[in-house]
Amino acid sequence: MSKLKLIAVVVILLLFQNCDSAQEKMDEPKARAPLQIVSLDPGHFHAGLIHKSMYPEVDSTIHVYAPEGEELQDYLKRIAGYNERAENPTTWSLEVYTGDDFLQEMIKEKAGNVMVVAGKNDRKIDYIIAALENGMNVYADKPLVINPAGFEKLKKAFDLADEKGLLFYDIMTERFEISTILQKELSMMPEVFGVLEKGTLENPAITKESVHHFFKYVSGVPLVRPEWFFDTEIEGSGLVDVTTHLVDLVQWESFPNEVLDTSDVEMLQAELLPTSLNYDQYQLVTGKTPPFGKGETLDVLANGEMNYTLKGIHAKVSVKWAYQAPEGTADTHYSIMRGTKANLIIRQGEEENYKPVLYVKLLDGQDDELKNAIDSVLQGKYPGISLSESSNGEYKIEVPDSYSVGHEAHFAQVTENYLQFFKDGKMPVWEVPNMIVKYYTTTKAFEKAQ
């Protein structure tokens, strides 16, 4: 369908849904909000998730440039679902351009001042550089790059953003998970935690592990993965994709508000391992006929583990992928920060009903200090949290359900964070150098595993 026809369909639908009459809509001049989004080649469902909420600073018209195909249709259907839901519907309108020259058309039209990109990771950095060269801010899904060659381009992209005074930021949703926030808060209290141990290769000071699944539900419907998702030349391997979040958390928690440098990283070990999909599994999760025969499997190098030091602190990051979570279970996260006085442990297993829960194991008998930290400090920041003793001698941080908003809601939270940067015209001084260190770490692990 051509751009004009798509615009016409969307406008007609919105006229009937959102106003009493077409004349009323036409008579009202529409001022543009300060931030106008351009969505480029939205091939990953994260591109739609940032639009699950509305934002006063963001113009309600999304300008979309993409090749025609199922990925674009999935994106449009997702936005329509948010607009049409019964509870708190959104009011996005869409102007869509389709064609092989979608990137050139985006640059020519410059319909917005922020490009959002979430899709094929092998070409994402080229999209980003094109946007920055043409004066557009960038808000990008992770990972920005998936190999050392991409990392060299990434450094150029940050130089471009700096020269032109543009905001270039990746979407780090996991910083907004409440158990991780509280783990970081307690790690910054020396009376409770002491200081972070140095650790060893065999017993790191900080460990982040996560388990994910190819088949899952998003916004209540089964997620259909594009076929390229299983091609690590396009999607990226298990050391450069989800690990981006975990490496980010290692930096964010271990050295809060500190500017890091690539010289602070020493990669010690890294490995990649496959997850195998059989014929029926591949067909179900992609909706496509597999490119291999029945009785054969597709081995996807989706599992990765790295051991490294950051400013002398030993860290371990690992990601595992299975096909589908067993009934009643979900993706899981495990994390431990080992301090001289306490260990801070996040578990997300059956006992936790597959929701992340923070536990504190005291090593120095500082029970009163922990209770005082909860009562006098953290309850002021996070009303309703409390402390209880668990059966294995650890303390459990009790968190009201209102804080456990879920992964999809974190996209609105990180977007609001970006909007504040946009309003301020700057980011914290540590954000850009630490993004560079983060992608240096993941691509160096990939290089090590090769």
pLDDT of residue 192 exceeding 80, the answer is yes
User: Distance (Å, rounded) from C-alpha 178 to C-alpha 226?
Assistant: 31
User: Distance (Å, rounded) from C-alpha 352 to C-alpha 328?
Assistant: 12
Angle (nearest 5°) at CA 40 between 408 and 77: 55
Return the closest-CA partner of residue 316 out of 211, 200, 213.
Answer: 200
Going by pLDDT thresholds of 50, 70 and 90, the confidence category of residue 220 is confident
Q: What is the pLDDT of residues 6-28, one digit of tens each?
A: 543 443 344 334 444 333 333 44
User: Distance (Å, rounded) from C-alpha 132 to C-alpha 125?
Assistant: 10
CB-CB neighbours of 265 under 10 Å: 20
Q: Which two tokens stand for residue 163?
A: 């020269």
User: Distance (Å, rounded) from C-alpha 447 to C-alpha 239?
Assistant: 10
Return the closest-CA partner of residue 405 out of 336, 334, 356.
Answer: 356
Q: What percent of the chain has pLDDT over 70?
A: 93
User: Distance (Å, rounded) from C-alpha 300 to C-alpha 30?
Assistant: 49
User: Distance (Å, rounded) from C-alpha 356 to C-alpha 323?
Assistant: 21
Classified as helix, coil or strand, 242 is: coil
Q: What is the mean pLDDT of residues 177-199?
A: 98
CB-CB neighbours of 382 under 10 Å: 17
Angle (nearest 5°) at CA 143 between 410 and 58: 45
Classified as helix, coil or strand, 389 is: strand
Buried b (16+ CB within 10 A) or exposed e, 205-232: bbbbbbbbbbbeeeeeeeebbbebbbeb
Element (H, E) at 335: strand 332-338
Whether 103 and 130 have beta carbons less than 8 Å apart is answered as: yes
Q: What percent of the chain has pLDDT over 90?
A: 84
Going by pLDDT thresholds of 50, 70 and 90, the confidence category of residue 30 is low
Q: What is the pLDDT of residues 302-329, one digit of tens each?
A: 999 999 999 999 999 999 999 998 777 7
Domains along the sequence of the chain with CATH: 3-173 (3.40.50.720), 174-406+436-449 (3.30.360.10)
Q: What is the pLDDT of residues 70-102, one digit of tens each?
A: 999 999 999 999 999 999 999 999 999 999 999
For the chain, helix, strand, coil in percent to 5 are 40, 25, 35
DSSP symbol at 377: I
Q: What is the mean pLDDT of residues 381-408?
A: 91
DSSP 153-185: HHHHHHHHHHHHT--EEE--GGGG-HHHHHHHH
Going by pLDDT thresholds of 50, 70 and 90, the confidence category of residue 29 is very low
pLDDT at residue 26, as a whole number: 35
Who wins on pLDDT, 404 or 283? 283
User: Distance (Å, rounded) from C-alpha 285 to C-alpha 325?
Assistant: 13
Whether 14 and 24 have beta carbons less than 8 Å apart is answered as: no
pLDDT of residue 264 exceeding 60, the answer is yes
Distances (CA, A) of 261 to 41, 433, 436, 441: 32, 7, 8, 11
pLDDT at residue 48, as a whole number: 94
Whether 140 and 128 have beta carbons less than 8 Å apart is answered as: yes
CB-CB neighbours of 391 under 10 Å: 7
pLDDT at residue 13, as a whole number: 40
Q: Which two tokens stand for residue 52?
A: 């699950």
pLDDT of residue 31 exceeding 80, the answer is no
The answer, as to whether pTM is greater than 0.95, is: no
Q: What is the pLDDT of residues 135-152, one digit of tens each?
A: 999 999 999 999 999 999
Q: What is the mean pLDDT of residues 194-208?
A: 98
Q: Which two tokens stand for residue 64?
A: 């979309």
Q: What is the mean pLDDT of residues 336-341?
A: 98
Half-sphere exposure of 408 (CA within 13 A, CB side): 13
Q: What is the pLDDT of residues 268-283, one digit of tens each?
A: 999 999 999 999 999 9
User: Distance (Å, rounded) from C-alpha 242 to C-alpha 227?
Assistant: 18
